[in-house]
Structure 1
């Protein structure tokens, strides 16, 4: 009867299989991401199929903008690379990814809800692009998120209430979009005597309202208009009063003239 393999060998084989599966996931994730980009200036020249298959060697990365840890990509930072196109939904395959920074590019389209598959994601910076559509509520499933920076896009709709439950969130910026509705209370409540996120996090959204934003200006009259109306009303009242007095004087004069004509020989009233 053959002797069972030692537990150490079984454990090693399991780790090997897990690492191989992880590399395949990274390969598919990176390939999908690259396909969704338009790299007109060839800034990602080393993003090749060969490097997708083996993007890391321990802590060494073979891809521009990628940082590795124990053979897995855990950070992608590609700010200001003049990238256009969109953001691939298949990015969720990079399961170890903790930072995704695609800020200051020309990316368009929606933010894919599949980002919630990045269960270890701590930093999401998609600012200064042209992303449109709504902010995915599914981002609230990334419980390790510390930073959500989406400022300077074309996002619309309301801010998902669920994002307020992200307990680790310390940076939240959705300024300069087309958002509307109420600021979620859990993103604006007081912590330590100050709002959790201040006005600058929400500014530049004409349809957004609620604390900590200042009260919206109503569609009523301006101060100058109110003053003008007041002056006009006063002038009208004065003219009306003057007209009434003139009419009363004329009526009194007529009454006296009629009385004099009806008694032409009557003596003048006594002064005594």
Structure 2
């Protein structure tokens, strides 16, 4: 075999090696995808190609072989599985997709908690889990994802307070936890941000009966009355009671005075004249 033929064979072998290396999944990505597919139920078979065979080689450069996945340099960097009627829970092994920058599981029927393990997605910029049936607390561990730009959790069944730690996310420009079951005060670091940090209006917090603080309107009682209105009613009731009490005393004194006058008249009639 001549030198030219040897070079051709070496070139083909090198291309085959690079192709195989690129197509082979990162072990962390493969574990991430495997566990996520096991934790979710796909009633309409939208994720037919989510199989173990595909997980072994999900990317070819920038091309992804998985529905809803986007690749970058052979790694999964975006998952968008929105509005697919998915059920089940979010696997904590999702944190193995360490190159993930965007996670969108919105508009499904996913239940259970938000895994605190998502804190290990250190490159995550977008987290959209809105319009599901997620329950439990908002994990304070999300504050470890320093690049988070979007946290959208609206229309779920999340409960408990909003973690103070989320106010440390300097890049956060979209924050929506409306229509949940959250309670307690809105952290000032999120409700009343200062400097150049983006601010969030009341629409980010509305629909949580137990949540209060700026920028929400003042709390109302169960009858829909504001605290100031209740205080006003209390003061008004006290004033009315005072007036009625004073009027009662006046009437009693008048009656007593009249009785005394009548008795004096009777006594004067009985006394002999001199």
Partners of 1:20 and 1:162 in 2: CA distance? 39
Partners of 1:255 and 1:189 in 2: CA distance? 76
1:69 Cα offset (Å): 2.0
Q: SS in structure 1 opposite 2:127?
A: strand
1:114 Cα offset (Å): 0.9
Partners of 1:113 and 1:205 in 2: CA distance? 22
Give the aligned partner of residue 162 of structure 1.
Answer: 165
Structure 1 portions without partners, runs of 5+: 1-14, 267-272
Aligned pair partner of 1:115 in 86, 111, 118: 118
Runs of 4+ in 1 over 6 A off after TM superposition: 15-18
Going from structure 1 to structure 2, the CA distance change for 1:120 and 1:17 (only over 3 Å counts) comes to farther
Structure 2 portions without partners, runs of 5+: 1-17
1:225 Cα offset (Å): 7.3
Going from structure 1 to structure 2, the CA distance change for 1:84 and 1:198 (only over 3 Å counts) comes to same
Deviations 1:160-212, CA, capped at 9 Å, x for gaps? 22211111110111122222222222212343699722222222222223322
Going from structure 1 to structure 2, the CA distance change for 1:78 and 1:193 (only over 3 Å counts) comes to closer
Contact 1:140 1:162 in 2 (8 A): yes
Q: Which has the larger radius of gyration?
A: 1
The reply to whether residue 241 of structure 1 matches residue 250 of structure 2 is yes
Equivalent runs, 1:1-272 vs 2, <5 Å: 23-191=26-194, 196-217=199-220, 221=230, 230-231=239-240, 234-235=243-244, 237-263=246-272, 265=273
Partners of 1:215 and 1:89 in 2: CA distance? 38
Contact 2:180 2:208 in 1 (8 A): yes
Alignment coverage as a number of residue pairs:
252
Going from structure 1 to structure 2, the CA distance change for 1:22 and 1:47 (only over 3 Å counts) comes to closer
Contact 2:178 2:204 in 1 (8 A): yes
Q: SS in structure 2 opposite 1:163?
A: helix
1:138 Cα offset (Å): 1.4
Partners of 1:247 and 1:230 in 2: CA distance? 26
Give the aligned partner of residue 4 of structure 2.
Answer: none
Contact 2:25 2:74 in 1 (8 A): no
Contact 1:195 1:212 in 2 (8 A): no
1:227 Cα offset (Å): 5.3
Going from structure 1 to structure 2, the CA distance change for 1:246 and 1:218 (only over 3 Å counts) comes to same
Partners of 1:119 and 1:68 in 2: CA distance? 17
Contact 1:29 1:90 in 2 (8 A): yes
